């Protein structure tokens, strides 16, 4: 299963791999539970790529990243004129995943009104795009994931019971990294080798003292945090050898070390904050350099074009138009992948969806 990114030798992981291979052979729905950062999408991809649908698309949707008013249109599609900004017919993610697999991450964040329509598609295999009177038939396998207890959400009337029972035909529980520490060394070696391959550099070395530190840490952000910590440590290393000091200031202990004020000080924070801040120190200087290069290129272009500032107001392009054009080009370049476009633009998926609606794209 290493081909799918599943790394581990613990009994929990071996058992999960066996179940993953077994359930992949049918079209039954799969519900994946696990804390943020444990690798739920990796297991979803493993199910898809081990199935008879492997030669078709796996479409991943983060239900928590898409604003409520847009999620329904994104999933089921819409007709031109069905709402303000709907300037063209648009296929939804279900149609994009036809004959393949649709991975619904953060399913607990899906609004109840959208849950009703999702259940209908699961039961009938038909969907109705917004603004259309004609149903479309789709053949899609559903894999859903959440870091919440859906039974608790059902009891709180935040999640539909009928949809819950429909989704949990097979349930996979991905254990947190602190419960399978025998996998940490394998994961460390995997990420170090991946870094080497991606950046075409020699594989970074790590000494035993550093490995012991990583094994003793509880990893509240799980595998995602481990990966980010390693990448940050490598980026900040001056020798190419990672030791205990390479990591001690990057781990979120309750009592932070404050001797070196040039390094991030971590308190107990959310996984999202950890994910964001782990790479901040390593990337901030790179970002500054890139911004300086962009500004230099822009100023050079303006200087050449305007010939000593001899230009009129008609040559000044409004910021909202520049923003709209940038988003449009990013969507075209990434073939309408919202996640990739958001990364390219340096904004969150939620912000991207809001801008798409604002500009009618």
- What residue segments make up the domains of the chain, in order of their start? 2-175, 178-278, 296-359
What are the backbone dihedrals phi and psi of residue 358, each rounded to the nearest 5 degrees, phi first?
-60, -40
* pTM over 0.75, yes/no: no
What are the backbone dihedrals phi and psi of residue 211, each rounded to the nearest 5 degrees, phi first?
-60, -40
Strands 141-146 and 101-105: parallel
Please, which residues bridge with residue 144 across strands? 31, 104
Shared fold status for 2-175 and 178-278: no
Grouped pLDDT means (10 residues each) for the chain, 361 residues = 80 94 94 96 96 96 88 89 77 96 97 95 93 92 97 96 95 96 96 90 92 96 95 88 92 57 43 47 46 47 46 60 79 80 79 80 75
Task: Classify burial at 150, counting beta carbons within 10 Å of its beta carbon; exposed 0-12, middle 13-18, buried 19 or more.
Answer: buried
Could you please state the CATH topology (level 3) that the domain comprising 178-278 is classified under.
Answer: Helicase, Ruva Protein; domain 3 (1.10.8)
Contact 4, 49 (CB under 8 A): yes
CATH 1.10.10 fits domain 296-359: yes
Please report the pLDDT score of residue 317 as a whole number. Answer: 66
How many whole angstroms separate alpha carbon 118 and alpha carbon 195? 39
Please report the pLDDT score of residue 334 as a whole number. Answer: 81
Q: Residue 203 carries which DSSP code? A: P
Please report the pLDDT score of residue 314 as a whole number. Answer: 54
DSSP letters for 265-334: ---S--HHHHHHHHTHHHHHHHHHHHHHHHHHHHHHHHHHHHTTT---GGGPPPHHHHHHHHHHHHHHHT
CATH 3.90.1200.10 fits domain 2-175: no
């Amino acid at each position: 299963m290493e081909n799918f990114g599943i790394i581990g030798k613990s009994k929990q992981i071996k058992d999960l791999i066996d179940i993953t291979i077994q359930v992949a052979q049918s079209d039954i729905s799969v519900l994946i539970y696990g804390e943020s950062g444990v690798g739920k999408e990796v297991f979803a991809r493993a199910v898809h790529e081990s199935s008879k649908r492997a030669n078709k698309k796996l479409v991943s949707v983060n239900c928590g990243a898409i604003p409520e008013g847009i999620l329904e249109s994104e999933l089921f599609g819409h007709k031109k004129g069905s709402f303000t900004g709907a300037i063209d017919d648009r296929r939804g993610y279900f149609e994009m995943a036809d004959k393949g697999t649709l991975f619904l991450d953060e399913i607990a964040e899906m609004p109840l009104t959208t849950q009703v329509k999702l259940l209908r598609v699961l039961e009938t295999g038909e969907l109705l795009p917004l603004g259309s009177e004609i149903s479309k038939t789709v053949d899609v396998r559903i894999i859903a994931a959440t870091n919440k207890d859906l039974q608790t959400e059902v009891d709180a009337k935040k999640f539909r019971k009928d949809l819950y029972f429909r989704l949990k035909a097979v349930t996979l529980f991905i254990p947190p990294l602190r419960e399978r520490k025998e996998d940490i060394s394998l994961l460390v070696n995997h990420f170090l080798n991946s870094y080497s391959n991606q950046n075409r550099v020699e594989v970074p070395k790590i000494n035993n003292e550093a490995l012991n530190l990583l094994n003793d840490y509880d990893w509240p952000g799980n595998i995602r945090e481990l990966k980010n910590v390693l990448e940050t440590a490598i980026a900040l290393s001056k020798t190419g050898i990672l030791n205990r000091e390479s990591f001690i200031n990057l781990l979120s202990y309750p009592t932070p070390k404050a001797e070196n004020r040039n390094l991030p000080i971590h308190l107990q924070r959310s996984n999202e904050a950890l994910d964001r801040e782990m790479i901040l120190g390593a990337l901030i200087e790179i970002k500054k350099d890139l911004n300086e290069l962009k500004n230099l290129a822009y100023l050079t272009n303006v200087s050449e074009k305007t010939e000593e500032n001899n230009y009129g107001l008609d040559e000044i392009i409004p910021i909202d138009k520049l923003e709209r054009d940038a988003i449009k080009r990013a969507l075209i370049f990434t073939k309408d992948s919202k996640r990739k476009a958001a990364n390219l633009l340096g904004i969150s998926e939620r912000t991207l969806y809001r801008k798409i609606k604002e500009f009618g794209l």
